[in-house]
Chain A
Amino acid sequence: MNSYLIDHRNPQGWSLTKALATIHIDALLFMGLLILMSAGLMILYSAGDQSFSLMIRQLIRISAALFIMLIIANIHPDRMRDSSYWLYGAGLLLLVAVLAFGHEGKGAQRWLDLKLFRFQPSELMKLAVPILVAAYLAERPLAPTVMRLIVGMIMIIVPSLLIAKQPDLGTSLLIASSGLIVIFLSGISWRIIIGFIISCTSALPVLWYVMHDYQKQRVLTFLNPESDPLGSGYHIIQSKIAIGGGGLFGRGWLEGTQSHLAFLPERSTDFIFAVIAEEFGLFGVALLLGLYLLIAARGVYIASQAQTSFARLLAGSISLTFLVYVFVNVGMVTGLLPVVGVPLPLVSYGGTSMVTLLAGFGILMSIHTHRRMMTP
């Protein structure tokens, strides 16, 4: 019997926590996710103009994603570490394949049509990159040497560039940040970090040069949304009206005028946060953000309790990247950041990101429930 299953306060009795632990599900994390996704469904019902079919489709996705989470939670972290190179290699190949024969949607090649379902290799890379970098850096004692750091950076940059080329800037930045978080957690010296930040800042003009027009437009619109109120600034203006109109306690569930009269674009996907803010007010969004923080906090706790450096780095990266998701989406919807297509994790309508996110939480649960406990 796995030593984790021994409940010291109640060594013999049955508990839900223990029952879940037998299938490698972390009860606290699971509970947090369920609350978040239930709230998400309720909001989606409102944002999707009270369409039950939309909710049912989302519910099917959630179920599938939870199933995948369960499977991954039952894989031992060491197996993940062992297969990290294969996973990464396969992901890289698929990315190249997407660029070669990918399916175009909304002006970007992101999809691979696998007859049965469409597959986005970039989603795979969201997990493959932090797994590989964590595995690679944990091979040797931390903090990593400069040489290993450079190799780690290459592991991050190659898929990021391939995804940026699709073009999918949002995902590219998220993957890069998940890898960079691993490197940051691995204990590289502050001098290197500060040097890196300075060089990144100076690379911005170069980035501007290689950006697509629509990406440049987004940045320009971000800096001054009113410059193009009916074009690319429309999203952010309407979103701010929705949020600001919500006030302290919101207009109430199903009462948001911006969302229900269709002034708010993409309200069930990327801009769903604005619906929440309009209908539940500052009070509601504070609760929501609190829930996100609690979930991430549980993840960080799992990281701190992990028994190998690989697990620690990976768990830390997954938990913190989750917060980056939230921050980028909310920042975009509130006009703090430029509009990049990042959904609000576990709430926005849509399947692929849901699967990847819950797979990530599956990894966290696996790490936490496969610990070897020392007998007291």
Chain B
Amino acid sequence: MSTKFTLKDHFTEGRIVNDRLIFSVLFAGLLFAVVMVRLAVLQVVEHEHFDSLADRNRVDILPLGPQRGLIYDRNGIVLAENIPSFSLEITPENVPDMESTLTELGRLFAMPDLELEEIREQIKKQRRFRQFTFRQRLTEQEVALFSVNRHKLPGVDVVGRLIRHYPQGALFAHTVGYVGRINERDQKSIDLQDYKGTLQIGKTGIEKQYEDLLHGTVGLQKVETNVQGRIIRELENNPAISGKDLFLNLDVNLQRVAADALGEYNGAVVAIEPKTGAVLAMVSKPDYDPNLFVLGISTKDYGELRDSVEMPLFNRSLRGRYPPGSTLKPFVALAGLELGVVTEQTESFCPGWFKLPGQDHKYRCWKHSGHGHVDLKKSIAQSCDIYFYDLANALGIDRLHSFLDLFDFGQKTGIDLPSESKGLSPSREWKRATRNQAWYPGETVISGIGQGFNQTTPIQLAHATAVLAMRGVTVPPQVARATRSSGQSELELLNNESAETLPMESSRHWEAIIDSMVEVIHGTRGTARHIGKGLDFEIAGKTGTAQVFGIKQDEKYDAETLAKKLHDHALFIAFAPADAPEIVVAVVAENGGSGSRTAAPIARKVIDQYFGITPSE
């Protein structure tokens, strides 16, 4: 190498480096320009997009469950209310030592180790700042017990919540029904958006029927949350709108009297105000405590209710299907008059039995010695079976069926309660369609006395009686009367469907039947004459005694029980006063033996209560 190159030429070297520096600065400027463009794209062009993403990150919408509307009886007595229930809540992040806290709680509440272990596992699974419900429905003693020991249990609190409560207990279990936890099946039938923040939903009865009104409107709370989901602050609050209060036609006192009157019998009592269809009392026995279902019923309790042979969960007033027996007779008689098959004066001869022409089978009258000559009035008052065998045979099943249709036999009455049963009013067509069998004339004969295929529900019976009492004006029975919006004092009446009047040939026909039914109670030989005393008005009624069909003889039960199960059902329908009806009562006492002896006095007690009569015995 030549010396020329070993000598350092500062000027040349400086220029080399400076040229490169200028290039580098230009290049750096280019890179920063790229960065600025990128930032401009993110912050200006796509700003809205990212801004909404940021909001979605931080804003959480929490539902605020509405307060459920209360349910009152017609006098303003509470049937369903919301009461505070205390539960013990653990906030894990505030608990310094979870082990000792759980041990202490377990000791205080005497909980088995297995249950504690389960709780320990559940606590581990959830967020540390979320409250965990350790125990529900604390009693006052338990709250006190906890309060005394609170200093030892940081991070554990007693929290009050509103839960549904039925102060009347079992009395309205079947009509008002109950609420329970929303299950998967419920979720399919509701708008889930409306039920965010709500744990319970009406499961049966009025609670289910008027769920939409009672539930209210969910409120929303917009909150800012951090990355763990903890609430930092509230941004917006649209409070929930409480559900509407519901005022029923039911009367607590009448309901209690009806339930007490039914006593130990299984069965149903229904009382209706015939003019309006207002259901005044609706009892089904046996019953159960609806409060058991509110916070989730235990498997054991539910199993006992479900599997009981008495079927306490079954609403007999709405779904129990009983042969109407002789209570059907006034309607059959009316059919005879209307269709011109008989007149009031037409007589039958009752020797104690009836034979179809050309057949040997004897259809017995309940009075084996026979009633002799009976006209319409006598046949109803004394409940002669022969008259109605004869009449039904003359009417034929199809005409009878069509006529009974007018009274909603075999059809839903349209009451405002869920899962009403249709009962059964047989016809030739029905038998062909369901059993693919021909109709036999003998079946028409026993239909005349409400036996055979006939099945009615107690509400149906009461409704049909109401139509009769109103001389053909038909109004669907209605349990709920009015609603009241939260914070208002005015009631809004619920619209009942407008009343219809049945087309009848002559109003005299109604009076003939009703006169006969008055005779049942006030006639010297009426089947229910023993309940007609001490009244300043007349009751019209009809007894019924229905043979029990198809009771399975459960071998597990002893002879005494078996025998009782085979007793006839006692039925009674009545309305009072006969000339201007204010109340209709239908009674079914299962295995009551006799409508006259068992069912009629029950109805009388209800009527006494309604009119404020003190029974004089």
By a beta-carbon cutoff of 8 Å, the part of chain A in contact with chain B is 140-143, 181, 184-187, 238, 240-248, 257-258, 260-263, 277, 281-282, 285-286, 289, 293, 296-297, 300, 303-304, 307-309, 312-313, 316, 320, 323, 327, 330-331, 334-336
Contact = CB atoms under 8 A, between A and B. Distances in A.
Contacts of B226: 260-263
Contacts of A181: 24
A59 to B, nearest CB: 27
The interface size bin for chain B is 35 or more
Given A262-B228, A296-B28, A312-B14, A243 B21 contact: no
Interface stretch (B36-44, B272-280, B427-435, B516-524): B36-44
Please report whether the interface of chain B is mostly helix, strand, loop or mixed according to DSSP: helix
A336 B38 contact: yes
B554 interface: no
A363 to B, nearest CB: 16
Interface string B1-36: 000011111101110111111001100110110111
B5 A141 contact: yes
B32 A289 contact: yes
17 contacts: A142-B16, A186-B17, A241-B54, A244-B42, A245-B50, A246-B47, A258-B58, A285-B43, A289-B35, A300-B21, A308-B10, A309-B8, A312-B18, A316-B17, A323-B28, A323-B31, A336-B34
Interface of B: 5-10, 12-14, 16-21, 24-25, 28-29, 31-32, 34-36, 38-40, 42-44, 46-47, 49-51, 53-55, 57-58, 224-228, 232
A186 B16 contact: yes
A187 B43 contact: no
A187 B21 CA distance: 10
A284 to B, nearest CB: 10
A293 B25 CA distance: 9
Contact of A331 (B10, B20, B35, B232): B35
Q: Which of A257, A277, A296, A327 has the most CB of B within 10 A?
A: A257
Nearest to B45: A244
Contacts of B43: 243-244, 246-248, 277, 281-282, 285
Given A277-B43, A320-B24, 8 more contacts: A185-B24, A186-B20, A187-B16, A240-B42, A257-B55, A261-B226, A289-B36, A316-B24
Given A141-B8, A244-B51, A258-B54, A263 B42 contact: no
A296 B29 CA distance: 11
A262 B8 CA distance: 58
B24 A286 contact: no
Contact of B6 (A140, A143, A293): A140
A273 B326 CA distance: 92
Contacts of A257: 54-55, 57-58, 224
A238 B53 CA distance: 9
Given A262-B227, A323-B28, A331-B35, A243 B18 contact: no
A313 B35 contact: no
Q: Which of B12, B49, B57 has the most CB of A within 10 A?
A: B57
A142 B11 CA distance: 11
Contacts of B7: 141
